[in-house]
Structure 1
């Protein structure tokens, strides 16, 4: 299995498509791993070089408990593969990492796509009562070190959304969402320390000058919806899309819709 050795870690990665095609770097959500992008690979690899990797604490990546930079890890993957520039596509925390890279290393980025993401340094957003209750349950599971319960509650909050019940959702999606996060439980007691970008991206996204697509699920939580609105207003060349009938993982829950929007946008901007 392919791994890239970086300081304090061995990053698992996969590639699809031909290296001569425009590069895409896919960065997964914090309730998933690189497998979340499986439904996109066939559509994207037809005319792109598609790169994805497991960030530290997720999937098949191995890490020591050291300080590290998520930005540096992502760029190390590109460097290892000889890719000078790529369109970054990130979901949730993956989108936040992509935004940090776009403001810190703009010369490496040709385009940017966020999915339910916000910039680092975004002000705290007031939660609804339902969201508050779900976060309280997460905190209780964390304090009890009940990692399997924590993983399930994370999926219920983010992937299903506070306004939807598991029973009302497609059973295949439910099973996939649980599995995407379940494999991360083995990393629960790892403690690598991510180094934040300084200053945060919040006040710097106005300088992003590449084509940007800001997407979010209709049933995502309040902060994600607010963050997407902010990105649309702050990034000069940004367009947006809200995926109906989805929450935090529209690319997993509605892959055909997501692929249509994404491939259309990439073609529109010759990326």
Structure 2
């Protein structure tokens, strides 16, 4: 299966945008346009079970991203991931390091991440609401949890629609069609040599501060950036500011090295 995707720009460098677990590729509207205008060839995709990409078989998200790049004829790419998309970006970089030019990780998850008691309680609450058939309350739980104080009503309405669609697509899927864990280890992450931006919001859950701490230690070429204004989804909370952040990081990371 080729992931549903959009393309913009005709530059020599490819940038892949991987969405969070409560959204789909539309979360990148502002950044998609800004990166194309900055001279990149930009692809944003819906991972399986999100947006317009169904789940029809067992799958590994990182390999789906590889297959998409093959389909587009892109040997290398810079990979930008938000939350769950950051975890997929790390899995892809660990499995295919030669294909990654740079990584930008925003409120990223991490392979093998052990949830805190707070995050487990959130997951238990979401599961209980879904079992009870209260889809509206489960959606609102996600909206309230994952958006920071600067998120406006437009961002909240988008997450509300996108999360409801995620539930509607994923809940009927049989267990045997679920994602396959690529089992990426800490040692494999520590061998990712690409320049990496590790950004986390001050209003995010402590789990993601801990992930940012660990990634800043593990990744050899990582730069940690704390966003004092952000919650978990900076791309939706300050779209233009996040676009500038990504454009500036990639300009630096991809700049030719002087001889």
TM-score (norm 2): 0.89
Conservation of the 8 A alpha-carbon contact between 2:216 and 2:224: yes
Question: What is the aligned partner in structure 2 of residue 73 from structure 1?
Answer: 64
Give the match's secondary structure for 2:128. helix
Question: What is the aligned partner in structure 1 of residue 157 from structure 2?
Answer: 175
Rounded Cα–Cα distance in structure 1 between residues aligned with 2:41 and 2:179: 28
- 1:148 CA displacement: 3.7
Rounded Cα–Cα distance in structure 2 between residues aligned with 1:113 and 1:107: 16
Larger mean Cα displacement after TM superposition, 211-220 or 145-154: 145-154
TM-score (norm 1): 0.86
Per-residue Cα deviation, 1:110-142 (whole angstroms, up to 9, x for no partner): 111111113211334343xxx665444212112
Rounded Cα–Cα distance in structure 2 between residues aligned with 1:246 and 1:210: 25
Q: 2:44 aligns with which of 47, 52, 67?
A: 52
Structure 1 gap ranges (5+): 1-5
Q: 1:193 aligns with which of 178, 190, 208?
A: 178
Larger mean Cα displacement after TM superposition, 215-224 or 134-143: 134-143
Conservation of the 8 A alpha-carbon contact between 2:151 and 2:236: no
Conservation of the 8 A alpha-carbon contact between 1:24 and 1:87: yes
Per-residue Cα deviation, 1:40-85 (whole angstroms, up to 9, x for no partner): 1221002000011111111011222x21111111111111110111
The alignment status of 1:140 with 2:128, answered yes or no, reads yes
Q: 1:57 to 1:203 in 2, by over 3 A?
A: same
Give the match's secondary structure for 1:194. coil
Question: What is the aligned partner in structure 2 of residue 237 from structure 1?
Answer: 221
Conservation of the 8 A alpha-carbon contact between 1:215 and 1:241: yes
The alignment status of 1:101 with 2:92, answered yes or no, reads yes
Q: 1:35 to 1:201 in 2, by over 3 A?
A: farther
Question: What is the aligned partner in structure 2 of residue 227 from structure 1?
Answer: 211
